[in-house]
Amino acid sequence: MRKGRVSNESARTRRQFLRATAGALAAGGFGAYPMRGYAADPVNIGGLYPVTGSLAQIGVGCVNAAKLAVEMVNDAGGIKALGGAKLNLIVSDVQSDTTVTRTETDRLISDNKLSAIHGCFASALTLIASEVAERAKVPLLTGSSSDQLNKGRRFTFTPFARASQFAEAQLQMSKLVGDKPKVAVIFENTAFGTSTSNGLRELAPAQGVEIVLFEPYSAGFTDASPLINKVKASGANALFSVSYLNDLILIVRTVKQVGLDIAINGGSGGFVIPDFYKNVGKLAEGLQGVAHWNHDMNDDAQKVNAEYKKRTGEFLFEYAGGLVAQTFMIAQALENAGSTDPQKVRDAVAALDLSSGYAAMCPGGKVKFGPDGKNIYAHPVGVQWQNGDLASVFPQADARAPLIKT
């Protein structure tokens, strides 16, 4: 966040943004309700994000985005069905640790009267958080991609693409740069890595893609040379690395150091956040990936991205941008429910059918949850690093820039 006094020009720009937000909320279906003659009690929503530990780079950005989204809702009139009640975001640091995630989720729910929660994004953490939220019967919306979240749960909702969909998109993208792709898949041995890589292996034959190496590794390793030597020996002409930020940085640097000429699709995770480019610089140019959200997808996304960038100096990345949309989904559910009761909010989330406004700010622009809590319209968008920014390049319907072949 930018420090110091905000300039008059910045303040005017911010006021213009918030006025535009108010109009967008009205257009997005937030009906007019008479305001009460007194201040309504705030509505508590929880945020579970790692702002310390190995995943802190993403977690801090998510908290910044969550605060912006709550401010947008509140400055546009709050929850009008509840007398203009303001959203009150209660953030809990899960410290990039599964044990802490369990205790913090339980504490967050026990110590506060919550209507809903959003978080975490890392699948290993979200699977734990969702178990606790399910037992407490508090709705949880998450940007996590693990397909396991859509099995046997009633209070967990996933508005964005699933791991299996990411895998299919990556395989399809491999054919954009070669007729007969031979792919090496390397993946961290966590819920995120294993679910995504298994999807790649299962779907590859139907997509006409040959996987010549399928290799797990321990997340947080310090030497990628043995792994990249296996990639080199496999004869692959494309590399899929299912990794979070620090591992992916090391992998890309090692690929370049050994002089391996190979197309790289970094998938999601660490590949699609600004810190990746900060660390590898020009080495990122032309590299491809997949995301469940990108800041160039529509006008609403670009408006929020512009404000976020003014505040933080960075573009609004996948998990943070998706979190803004999730906040507006919760706000719309509160409007529809006219209640802060988590069971009623859960039912209102399950009944959402959106095609406009910030809550529908997803690839394809639609949100409707099936019985398993999965958005039936969800699909990933293929992205590419171009001139230090992430451009949407795949599929054609979502492309905002042409693919640069490297």
Same domain, 353 and 283: no
Same domain, 223 and 172: yes
Same domain, 47 and 132: yes
pLDDT tens readout for residues 144-182: 988 899 999 999 999 999 988 888 999 999 988 778 899
**pLDDT number for residue 194:** 84
Residue 1, domain member (yes or no): no
Max CA distance (Å), the chain:
73
Contact 329, 43 (CB under 8 A): no
Residue 403, domain member (yes or no): no
pLDDT tens readout for residues 260-289: 999 999 988 788 999 899 999 999 999 999
pLDDT tens readout for residues 312-322: 999 999 999 99
Q: Average pLDDT of the chain?
A: 89
Asked if residue 27 has pLDDT above 90, the reply is no
Instruction: Provide Rg for the chain, Cα atoms.
Output: 21
Contact 178, 238 (CB under 8 A): yes
Contact 310, 101 (CB under 8 A): no
pLDDT tens readout for residues 196-228: 788 899 999 999 999 999 999 998 899 999 999
Per the structure, the count of domains in the chain is: 2
For residue 399, give both structure tokens: 């492309």
Residue 263, domain member (yes or no): yes
Sequence-distant contacts of 126-132: CB under 8 A, at least 24 apart: 127/191, 128/98, 128/101, 128/102, 129/48, 129/94, 129/101, 129/102, 129/105, 130/155, 130/156, 131/102, 132/102, 132/105, 132/106
**203: amino acid identity, one letter:** L
Same domain, 39 and 153: yes
Same domain, 277 and 388: yes
Asked if residue 23 has pLDDT above 50, the reply is no
Contact 317, 272 (CB under 8 A): yes
Asked if residue 13 has pLDDT above 60, the reply is no
**pLDDT number for residue 92:** 97
Residue 231, domain member (yes or no): yes
Rounded mean pLDDT, 85-97: 97
Return the SS3 of 46: strand
Same domain, 226 and 261: yes
Same domain, 389 and 254: yes
More confident residue, 5 or 216: 216
**36: amino acid identity, one letter:** R
**Phi, psi at residue 46, to the nearest 5°?**
-95, 150
**77: amino acid identity, one letter:** G
Residue 193, domain member (yes or no): yes
Same domain, 340 and 368: yes
Asked if residue 19 has pLDDT above 50, the reply is no
**pLDDT number for residue 11:** 45
**212: amino acid identity, one letter:** V
Same domain, 248 and 282: yes
**pLDDT number for residue 213:** 98
Helix (H) or strand (E) holding 343: helix 342-350
Contacts of residue 140, Cβ cutoff 8 Å, sequence gap at least 6: 116, 117, 118, 119, 129, 130, 133, 134, 155, 156, 157
Distance CA 51, CA 350 (A): 29
* CATH number of the CATH domain containing 360: 3.40.50.2300
Residue 2, domain member (yes or no): no
Residue 178, domain member (yes or no): yes
**pLDDT number for residue 379:** 97
Asked if residue 12 has pLDDT above 60, the reply is no
User: Cα-Cα-Cα-Cα dihedral of 299, 172, 226, 406, to 10°?
Assistant: -70
**pLDDT number for residue 176:** 85
At residue 39 the predicted structure's pLDDT band, cuts being 50, 70 and 90, is low
Same domain, 250 and 390: yes
Same domain, 253 and 151: no
Distance CA 332, CA 175 (A): 40
Instruction: Provide the sign of the torsion angle of the four alpha carbons 282, 288, 293, 295, taken in this order.
Output: positive
**pLDDT number for residue 206:** 93
More confident residue, 106 or 196: 106
**pLDDT number for residue 397:** 94
| Closest to 123 (Cα-Cα) out of 104, 103, 96 | 96
Tell me which residue range forms the domain holding 34: 8-161+296-375
**pLDDT number for residue 6:** 38
**pLDDT number for residue 193:** 82
**pLDDT number for residue 177:** 74
Same domain, 168 and 240: yes
Residue 92, domain member (yes or no): yes
